Structure 1
Amino acid sequence: MAQAAERLVEVWRGDFCESVHHGHVAVWHADSGLIWGLGDVDGTILPRSSSKMVQALPLIESGAADAHGLTPEHLALACASHQGAAIHTDRVARWLSDLGLSEADLRCGVQWPSDEPARDDLICTKCGPGQRHNNCSGKHSGFLTLTKHLHAGPEYIDPDHPVQRAVRAAWEDVTDETTPGYGIDGCSAPNFASSLKGFARALAMFAAARDGADTRRNAMVRLREAMMAHPELVAGEGRACTKLMRVMGQRAAIKTGAEAVFAAIIPERRIGVALKISDGTTRASEAAITQILSALGVLDAQDPVALTYRHGPIRNWRGTETGHYRLTPALADWRP
């Protein structure tokens, strides 16, 4: 990014500012365009997993989701970066079975679950993890559903595969940009780049979408509603996406991405939010998105969950409070 990042979040230990996180923020209104920006909103980002709702658009728009009887739970998983808990992996296994496929058809790779009970069960039973435990296995099950619907080849993660060509076309359309390229994500699928404000624009389209408008907007409504209705499938217990969506009571759909990207879709405000922390630190992206959601009026700033992400406290292994987070005025003082 060409323009300097804005100082957003500080980490304090006692009387000492121990760490500082800089970043970029774009808030886009579906009718008014960019209504607030910090840092370099024109700079290019890889949205990573925060863009999964865009990657899932062709799944619905093609007719594949309806042809294969996908429910809102399936759609939430298609947008998920899940914990690998049983509520995730059991659903993925059934989804693949209903497609007449197996875990071997996935191309996301093997990953140990971050859900502790699931991980401990694998260890105690002397079993290793599988691809279903990969946090992106829901997205990849969606890719496989579209692959089957298109009668396409099995290597659906190839950038030239019909599935990824459809994802790229959707990405360029909703960001209103020609992507400068892609990076290969942790799950081996291409992750298409755009400007930060282009991504915020796409999220605002999701926010403003209404049923019955057209195929694209119908798909957007289904995906955002699935995420808000099933926050436990989008991430999992203890995760910011799940905890914050629960607290907001289906007023916003939010999604984190690797390297401290965060996205928010706020239907009642017709607003999309995209942010990126320069050093890739998740604690800072969680603090920043929590503050912005509070400023936009969809999250109670004094809710204990919100306070934890915005302020802390930070505790050591004995439970002693050792520090806290502090939002800079550039972030804390903004009001729409």
Structure 2
Amino acid sequence: MTPKAIQVFRGEHLESTHDLHVAVVNNEGKLLYSYGNPNRLTFPRSSMKPFQAVPLVETGAASRFHYSQADLSLSCASHSGEKIHRDTVLNILNRIGLAEEALQCGTHIPRDMESYKQLIREGKELTPVFSNCSGKHSGMLTTAVHMNEDVSTYREIYHPVQERILEVIQEICEIPREQIQLSVDGCGVPVHQLPLNRVALGFAKLANPVGKHATALEIIRNAMIQHPEMVGGTERFDTDLMRGFNARIVAKAGAEAVQCLGLVEEGIGIAIKVEDGGARATSVAAVGVLKQLRLGNEQIFEALRDYVHAPVLNARNDKIGVIKPNFVLNKA
């Protein structure tokens, strides 16, 4: 039996495993390394948010409504719902003349539990600004307002906001439009299915922009790496990784255990999908790939140690196990 790529130990005993798919691609689309199936059809989910933000920049909407780098970074975020995230979204909505009710991302309990507890203590209900996707949705609304388009249907598949996004993804990831399958993301907007290696190509171009959308991609990349706290939040992998690598990596996770990285100096994109959707395996897989590519050093990985070998915790918050990588990349 072939050993699985990610192994979960309880004490010294192997308890569970995860299969893995990895594509490592340069910004010309050449596959450099892989593991599993680099062509696996994948919904990258929130990993596509940097590309969904391209029309926000290219239409002039971000400029018109005076988006800061932090604002733009938040438009690419799966944020934790911390006060800084909520305040920024509300500020953007105020600038474009809309109320929070215009957000159609739905509601969920935020990762930032202190914010949620405070809401309960005040006897208030969850609202859409707490959603991890409220930054993306406020960006879509900003574009719709700028283009004088209907803001009540901005998330619908045939709305011009979503049509522009589909065109951008097609061009950046270099895949014919008819080969991009569509479904609905957790926050209600269209989500795009692509081969994993095409997703990696997109992140290679985000890291080291080339082609038609290079200017917008560079602006978005710089916003994310200069304000990583907006992309995730406190004790979030994307945020901590970008900080740890000091602007050398742009990172964005997606639901169902997707993790994408762009190596800025190398112009390389990495797309990772854990087969069973087990998100606990993604940071371990990502750091495992970076180490095999000989990126980073002991100091960086010591600061990121809880992502290198992720701890398994019990209800007392005791460490009773560990999650480890167990794979070797194949050179193309």
1:196 aligned partner, one-letter code: L
Residue 177 of structure 1 corresponds to 175
Aligned partner of 1:285: which letter? T
- 1: CA distance, partners of 2:25 / 2:212: 22
Q: Is the CA contact 1:296–1:335 (under 8 Å) kept in the aligned structure 2?
A: no
Secondary structure, in 3 states, of the residue corresponding to 1:54?
A: helix
Contact 2:22 2:35 (C-alpha < 8 Å) held by counterparts: yes
Per-residue CA deviations over 1:301-327 (Å, capped at 9, x if unaligned) read: 563343221223434344544222221
What is the CA–CA distance in structure 1 between the aligned matches of 2:280 and 2:26, rounded to whole Å? 26
| Aligned residue identity for 2:175 | E
- Cα contact 1:6–1:38 (8 A) shared by 2: no
Pairing 1:237–2:234 present: yes
Question: Which residue identity does 2:309 align to in structure 1?
Answer: H
Q: Does 1:18 align with 2:15?
A: yes
Q: 2 CA distance for matches of 1:180 and 1:271? A: 22
- Is 1:187 aligned with 2:181? no
Alpha-carbon contact 2:242-2:250 (below 8 Å) kept: yes
Hey, what's the Cα distance between the residues in 2 that align with 1:319 and 1:198? 39
For residues 280 and 137 of structure 2, the distance between their equivalents in structure 1, rounded to whole angstroms, comes to 27
- The 1:216/1:180 distance shift into structure 2, 3 A limit, reads closer
Could you tell me how far apart the structure 2 residues matched to 1:98 and 1:230 are? 21
For 2:290 and 2:8, the matched residues in 1 are separated by 20
Corresponding letter in the other structure for 2:199: F
Which amino acid in 2 is paired with 1:170?
Answer: V
**Structure 1 residues 74-99: Cα deviation after superposition (integer angstroms, max 9, x where no partner):** 11000000011100000100100010
1:155-170 to 2 correspondence within 5 Å? 155-170=153-168
- 8 Å Cα contact 1:295/1:335 also seen in 2: no
Structure 2-normalised TM-score?
0.93
1:129-168 alignment to 2 at 5 Å?
129-154=126-151, 155-168=153-166
Segment drifting more, 284-293 vs 93-102: 284-293
When residues 108 and 191 of structure 1 are mapped into structure 2, their CA distance, relative to the original with a 3 A threshold, is same
Q: Which moved more, 1:311-320 or 1:35-44?
A: 311-320
SS in 1 for 2:270: strand
Structure 1 residue runs of 5 or longer lacking an equivalent are none
SS of 1:272's equivalent? strand
CA distance in 1, matches of 2:275, 2:7: 13
Question: Which deviates more, 177-186 or 156-165?
Answer: 177-186
Structure 1 length-normalised TM: 0.92
1:8 matched to 2:5: yes
CA–CA distance in structure 2, aligned partners of residues 158 and 70 of structure 1: 24
Contact in 1 for aligned 2:6/2:327 (Cα 8 Å): no
**1:87-102 counterparts in 2 under 5 A?**
87-102=84-99
- TM-superposed deviation, 1:62: 1.4
Report the equivalent of 1:121.
Answer: 118
- Any conservation in 2 of the 1:56–1:79 contact (CA below 8 Å)? yes
The letter for the 1-side match of 2:228 is P
Which amino acid counterpart does residue 205 of structure 1 have in structure 2? K
1:103 paired residue among 96, 100, 103: 100
The question of whether the paired residues in 2 share the 8 Å contact of 1:301 and 1:307 is answered with no
1:79 is aligned to 2:79: no
How far 1:55 sits from its partner (Å)? 0.7
- Pick from 23, 44, 50: which aligns with 1:47? 44
- The answer to whether structure 1 residue 220 and structure 2 residue 212 are counterparts is no
Q: Percent identity?
A: 34
Q: Secondary structure at the match of 1:205?
A: helix
Q: Distance in 2 between matches of 1:306 and 1:335?
A: 26
Match of 1:29 in 2: 26
The alignment partner of 2:158 has SS state of coil
Pick aligned residue for 2:246 from 246, 249, 270: 249
Q: Tell me, what secondary structure is at the counterpart of 2:221? A: helix
Structure 1 stretches of at least 4 aligned residues deviating more than 6 Å after TM superposition: none
Q: Could you tell me which residue of structure 1 aligns to residue 207 of structure 2? A: 207
Q: Runs of 5+ in structure 2 lacking a partner?
A: none
Moved more, 105-114 or 262-271: 105-114
* Matches of 2:143 and 2:193, distance apart in 1: 22
Q: State how far apart, in whole Å, the 2-side matches of 1:6 and 1:95 are.
A: 49
CA offsets 1:235-256 (integer angstroms, 9 cap, x no match): 1101111122111111111011
Q: Retained in 2: the 8 A contact 1:84–1:134?
A: yes
Measure, in 2, the Cα distance between the counterparts of 1:150 and 1:158: 16
Cα separation, partners in 2 of 1:116 and 1:88, compared to 1, 3 Å: same
- Matched to 1:281, the amino acid is G
Determine the C-alpha separation between the residues in 1 that align with 2:42 and 2:129: 28
Q: Indicate the residue corresponding to 1:198 in structure 2.
A: 198
Aligned to 2:307: 309
Structure 1: distance between partners of 2:312 and 2:10: 8
